[in-house]
Structure 1
Amino acid sequence: MSVTEQLLRALPEGIVITGDENTRPFECDGLSVYRQKPLAVALPENIDQIKQVLRICKANNTPVVTRGAGTGLAGGATPLEQSVVLGLSKLKKIKSIDTDKRLAVVEPGVRNLAISEAVAEYGLYYAPDPSSQIACSIGGNVAENSGGVHCLKYGLTVHNVESVTILTIDGETLTLSREDEGLGLLALMNGSEGLLGVIVEITVKLTPTPQLARVVMAAYDS
């Protein structure tokens, strides 16, 4: 039985996408000059379904390419030949908001801007703001260590993430935190483009909304 057939049998209807035309939207990310059609695309709705995808792909020695919103310009979500794309766009819950500690726990498919929208009533927002923030996902932001125009003041994604929970190809769950002793594995995950594990939960730092915003123009003689 092929990998695709095993995935279709193991997962509920509508989770696995197959066929040339159906998988075509997943053959590249924002870097559309490079394209590669995957064997199949899996769009799981929960962690158990992600584990099933990883288990089947590992048993068949099939590469897994994790995908967020597909807005990246670095080719991080470009499928490998004969690979399965693991899309995390359906995992889009904001699990908790702690206004005292200024933290939010979110799933990887949550849009960058949606975090700021959810905490705006508390006078908070999520500072890293890539140009695609209206569409890009926080999981993809971690995978690419995204920045934005505010990164000079507030830092990149790596400076605004407190912890991540990941799944290894073996289905093992690991939580990497800023408070961990020893090697900075949390920093290593930021910018790793999904090569080290599948991100299933992120705890992000929230920043107080500036009381005043003004445009300043400066002119110089030389």
Structure 2
Amino acid sequence: VEDFVRAGYDLEAAAILLCESDGTPDEVEEEIGRMTAVLRGCGATAIAVSQNEDERLKFWSGRKNAFPASGRISPDYMCLDSTIPRKRLADILLAIQQMEIKYDLRCCNVFHAGDGNLHPLVLFDANDPDELHRCELFGADILETSVAMGGTVSGEHGVGVEKLNSMCVQFTATENELMFGVKRAFDPAGMLNPGKVIPTLQRCAEYGRQVFRAGATQPFADLPRF
């Protein structure tokens, strides 16, 4: 990030934490004093306080450009958005460190620390099938570990098809069925994003569709189209 935007970050730091304060000048000064004491007590190696709007924006430029900066060190990355209770932040970061060794892939951790919303960027090369496979396993492991720590598989990006299998990690079959029932009430014909969010393969048959396995030879049924 520092090479990309020159935000003034300490290159020797293991992590960067950005904190903002809002209020009257006296309130901000008092709050910054309390934050500084907490940070020093937690072992912060350096603390910098912006003195004007330009400096504030400069500090934030590193965070806002973290994703494109990752493109300088990897041709591709997979961005996740699981959540964890804030008190488990250190635990999940340590777990992801171990996963980097397990899957032999690097991961850049960018997140909203204030609400426990993670954005791990798993770095890989999409042109390498083995790396792609390990990346997918890495991502699924992060989501499963987040749920085990009391979190969720998605904080803001949604589920779609990428996290479809992980819905079974967070929710029971009964809970998934209830959610599908809500969708079915508003979409009885199954025309709105079919096959997304809710992992219920049997619904293909319910809606008159067919599921084909690899190597199947039977002709496709004459089903109504929309």
Quickly name the TM-score band, shorter chain normalised: under 0.3
TM-score normalised over the length of structure 2:
0.28
TM-score normalised over the length of structure 1:
0.28
Larger Rg: 2
Work out which structure has the larger RCO, using CA pairs closer than 8 Å and 6 or more positions apart in sequence.
1
